[in-house]
Structure 1
Amino acid sequence: MSERKPPSGESLYRGPSKAPRDKRERERDRASQPRPSQAHAEPPPREPREHREPRAPLRERLAEAAPVALSEQRLYGFNACMAVFGKRPEALRKVWLLQARIPKLKPVIEYCVKHRIGYTVVEATDLEKLSGSAHHEGVVFSVLPVAELSLAAWLRTLARGPQLAIWLDGVGNPHNLGAILRSAAHFGAAGVLLPQGAQALSGAAARVAEGGAEAVPLVRLGRSDEAIAQLQAAGFQLAATVVRGGQALYAATLPDRFVLVMGAEQMGVAPELAQALSLRLIVPGSGKVESLNVSVATAVFLGEWWRQHATSVG
């Protein structure tokens, strides 16, 4: 005898033909009817655990979960990070560090806990991913960048008497900028002047500066001719550094209020800018190489200005 199956959606038990149906039978019939939301589509079955896509490695999840906001930048290198924490702790937004760095970064961690700032202990490969460099020295900070000053605002901050500043004309290499900032801090420079279009301070430059980026203000210039006029009105004399045709540094008496204009590698100071300045200086040497690296030459000039004016610098 063949088994008859009821049409889809109907109860398996109907009872005698045209017999009255009790309450339980009617409830079974209603339960077997598809709900309106299920009539058209059913959710896809969940994949077995062994077939699911594995989670991305921690370093990839860190980079995706912690994007750098436009108003923030990532700094790395122990001295660079600690300089920010020492001078601008309120700029701190996030910290990543190695387990081995916890003892030296204990004040930072305590500050993070107190102010509800996130910090994460990660591996060296994670820090390399976060910083984009193998030279992270065990720590990466996400911070608000240091604010640049306008020339007029910077001039208002200066005291009377000897003052030293460096004007960078086309110096874009972050390692050169960082090394110049380090030398500028060492020799007590009052500011580093950046022309229009020059790149802002990067994490790489801050690391090389070893804390100098927090010690020396960055000043954004406008038009060169207007900047020269403003500086001269504030009592500064400007000197262009050249490879040949200038006065030997050690034979020159450097002015008390002095702006040293340094040019990019190979290119030097732009000719129109050099021509607008009355003083041109060279670093004398053996002549076996054409010139020094721009950061090394800057340190030589700054060191000589310091030697001549150290007793009068506050």
Structure 2
Amino acid sequence: MKILVTGTAGFIGSHLAHRLLDRGDDVIGVDNVNDYYDVNLKEARLARLLDKPGFTEVRQDVADREAMAELFREHQPERVVHLAAQAGVRYSIQNPNAYVDANLVGFMNILEGCRHNNVKHLVYASSSSVYGANETMPFSVHDNVDHPLSLYAASKKANELMAHTYSHLYNLPTTGLRFFTVYGPWGRPDMALFIFTKKILAGEPIDVFNHGHHKRDFTYIDDIVEGVVRTLDNVAEPNPDWSGENPDPGTGKGPYRIYNIGSNNPVELSRFIEIIEERTGKKARKNLLPMQPGDVPATYANVDDLINDVGYKPSTGVEEGIANFVDWYRDFYNV
């Protein structure tokens, strides 16, 4: 197939593009390669893709309406995986406008491109952060998620609502994927595993929020990619049992689906740090701090729908996943 993937200089997007190219798909990769974090890392991810047949690189911003409309007209993708976004819970407190431009305007341009060019399936990244103030564990896609705790989370919830509208109005099949704390080789420098590994190896202290009592459903990158590919191949369909009297948030009357992709096995942050210490062979110097604004104490994914609909459940343990990351980090940065 010809598949448009946005965010191909990013962590998940670059891994996904490799997977699709390896199975024989053509990939049109879109990224504006912004400087939210180290551009050199983004360029290194892209360089590995440029060597592969079937990959077309397009450098532009998904928030550029005319450029995105022209891209869809020119390439006519059969399916779209939209991963480009302004990421980060904490950064959304510092720079909220970036989230409106990338996550709302950018997503609108993707929806319009799909609508006007007969795209057969749109899969897009949502986030576990949409669960916000919810405390019933594990988080289910059938739960109400109307209480986000950050603008980032609100923008991802808005994406789900926008997708639902397009599925309903234009019969556009859309599938939203709520990713749970993705980690692994080529990961983002603003995330805990990268920061902790870098500082522990350098002998620098690490900031440990909520005194290390956070629990996160850490999900390894290969498991995320497998979930994306399986849902991409499983085109969203209407739920024939959907009722307005008892509306199900995870499905719709139109071809609309939401899935969690998480390990279904939360790990406490203090244990996560211990595993990094074991793999690096160095003890962490910890600066224990209270919880930050916008953070939630725990995430835990119910993945029953993913199992039932596409026959998949993430399975990589944190010990294996962290080991793979630390090995990659040492090799990439010559540490």
Alignment TM-score > 0.5, same fold: no
TM-score in terms of structure 1 length: 0.29
Structure with greater Cα Rg: 1
